[in-house]
Amino acid sequence: MGRWEPNARERLVRAALELFTEQGYDNTTVAQIAERAGLTKTTFFRHFPDKREVLFAGQDTHARLLADGIDTAPPAATPLQAVAAALDAATATFTPGQRDFGPRLRAVIAGNSELQERDAFKRARLAAAMADALRKRDVPDPTASLAADLGVRAFSGAFARWSDPANEQTFTELARQALHELHAAATGLD
């Protein structure tokens, strides 16, 4: 693959995930990632500040889509209905071609405490984006924060289920199902 070919960002993500899977996160360098992608270190750093961030490349897009989904939910939507609309909006990023990333991504993150910490930060950022969007709809706290937390749990659970090779459901179906299960569990706390 030549350096001039398109999709440098995606190539870097794929190369990093391959190398992290093959030789471990700690044993992989930015130079190796760039070389595997057929690019330079300079190109890597144009797209990512460090090798950790290559695994969380979609965070900003997900945060924006989730917030936009809440913003465009019908005015009469309950907070959980608005969160469901947010999860529907995020579906656009979960293409069949990306499904094979899931198990490898989850395995790499599970095997490294630094990446687990970064994953927790990502979930907190997604929750903050949804909570802020809910507050703009005049949903008070703690309702906005709780609905956003349920949304992030549904998002994460749906991703884990969606990326399972045996899964045949869409991300949207899985996210809605996860949100419903979480809502039922929360109402059962009485």
Q: What is the pLDDT of residue 5?
A: 57
Q: Are residues 76 and 33 in the same domain?
A: no
Q: What is the pLDDT of residue 156?
A: 94
Q: Are residues 134 and 108 in the same domain?
A: yes
pTM above 0.95, yes or no: no
Q: Which residues of 32-64 are buried (b: 16+ CB within 10 A; e: fewer)?
A: bbbebbbbeeebbeebbeebeebbbebbeebbe
Place of tokens 């706290």: 141
Q: Are residues 154 and 140 in the same domain?
A: yes
Q: Are residues 22 and 72 in the same domain?
A: no
Residue 26 lies in domain: 8-54
Average pLDDT of the segment spanning 54-67: 91
Q: Cα–Cα distance between 20 and 111 in angstroms, integer?
A: 10
Q: Are residues 80 and 18 in the same domain?
A: no
Q: Are residues 31 and 65 in the same domain?
A: no
CATH number for the domain spanning 104: value is 1.10.357.10
Q: Does residue 105 form part of some domain?
A: yes
